[in-house]
Amino acid sequence: MAKFETKGKDLYIDDHKVLRGWESWNVWYWFATEKEREQLSDLGDSKGTPDTIYFGFVQGLRKNGVISLRPKSRA
């Protein structure tokens, strides 16, 4: 199980500082701990959309993985 703790005003998960966080409608939480890269992502419209890829923790899955910023910022 992941260890969540605060140090000052910052949140850490297993000693990795959280850079960004998101909450979904299905009560899953994404916590970005490393910025991996910038890229163009195809979100199903066959167009390259600027995107940021992070590595981090997905609380709904209770594991680490790669997180795309773009789907979370579409509104």
R_g of the chain computed on alpha carbons: 13
Alpha-carbon span 16 to 57, nearest angstrom = 10
Q: What is the pLDDT of residue 75?
A: 43
Domain residue extents for the chain: 4-73
Q: What is the pLDDT of residue 54?
A: 94
Extended beta strands in the chain, E state: 4-7, 10-13, 16-17, 20-23, 29-42, 48-58, 63-68
What is the mean pLDDT, run by run of 10 residues, along the chain of 75 residues?
94 96 87 94 84 91 78 54
Q: What is the pLDDT of residue 71?
A: 62
In total, the chain counts a number of residues equal to 75
Q: What is the pLDDT of residue 17?
A: 98
